[in-house]
Amino acid sequence: MITQATNRQPATQPVAAAIAGTAPTPSSSSTPAAGSAPAAPHTAPARTSTGRLRQPRHLAAALLALAAAALALDAGWVHAKASLAQHLLDRAWQRTLAEGGTHRPWPRADTRPVARLHRDHGAASGNARTQTILAGDNGRSLAFGPGWAEASAAAGQPGTTVISGHRDTHFAWLQHAAAGDTLSLEDASGHHTRYQVTGTTVVDSRHQRIALHEDGDTLLLVTCWPFNAVAAGGPLRYVVSASAVRD
């Protein structure tokens, strides 16, 4: 009995499918080999919302990063402005000592230097040891340096002299001031009045007022408290008291 040979074409994998490493897709005209299981129907992968969720998260992270950078730049600008202002104030103060009269630190400035505060033996570290004091203790003046309360006694005059400054720039060193530290206040004539720190206290500006007409010559240095407060402008004040030392 002669058996008729069956001509079978060897199964070959298309080039594109071989490169991609995937099985060929059977054409509609091809007939599956005998005994082989029918090919599973092609189904599209299920869509998930993971990609959509990541976008808002990435956006929020970017916004937080931008906010942190803005805060850092703002803090850096505050300190840079305070440092540059003291340099210009020093120049104006030197002219005041040499020539007398009023010398503004920069054109159109609405304040002027009226004294210089020197930190002497035992004074706290940090910030410059000599700071130029401006006339007025409003927000515009305090942005550039410590300000003298014009309702209080002027430098070199009898009575209570009050000088204020920001806790995070010019008067940050007050948190380290201690009883026994010595300071001196220089007036426009070049005369120095020496003071010794007698103590520190915290007062509530809503209920307490600084007495300006007490007996004796007193220097009060005032800043906001607490020093590490996140928000500025609270009602509490940190006051360093110093009494004049007579030679």
Q: What pLDDT digit, counting tens, does each position of 132-146 carry?
A: 999 999 988 899 999
Question: Confidence class of residue 162 from pLDDT cuts 50, 70 and 90?
Answer: very high
Is the pLDDT reported for residue 203 higher than 80? yes
Which domains can be identified in the chain, with CATH numbers?
65-244 (2.40.260.10)
Backbone angles phi, psi at 140, to 5 degrees: -65, -40
For the chain, give the percent of residues with pLDDT over 70. Answer: 64
Question: Confidence class of residue 86 from pLDDT cuts 50, 70 and 90?
Answer: confident
Give the model's pLDDT for residue 184: 96
Give the model's pLDDT for residue 85: 81
Q: What is the largest CA-CA distance in the chain?
A: 141
Give the model's pLDDT for residue 218: 96
* Token pair listed for 161: 């002299």
Give the model's pLDDT for residue 189: 94
Q: CA geometry: angle at 98 spanning 93 and 101, to 5°?
A: 70
Better pLDDT: 179 or 5: 179
- CB–CB of 136/183 below 8 Å? no
Per residue, the 3-state secondary structure of 17-67, as one string, reads HHHHCCCCCCCCCCCCCCCCCCCCCCCCCCCCCHHHHHHHHHHHHHHHHHH
Is the pLDDT reported for residue 182 higher than 90? yes
- CB–CB of 182/194 below 8 Å? yes
Give the model's pLDDT for residue 13: 42
Task: Report the predicted TM-score, pTM, of the whole model to 2 decimal places.
Answer: 0.66
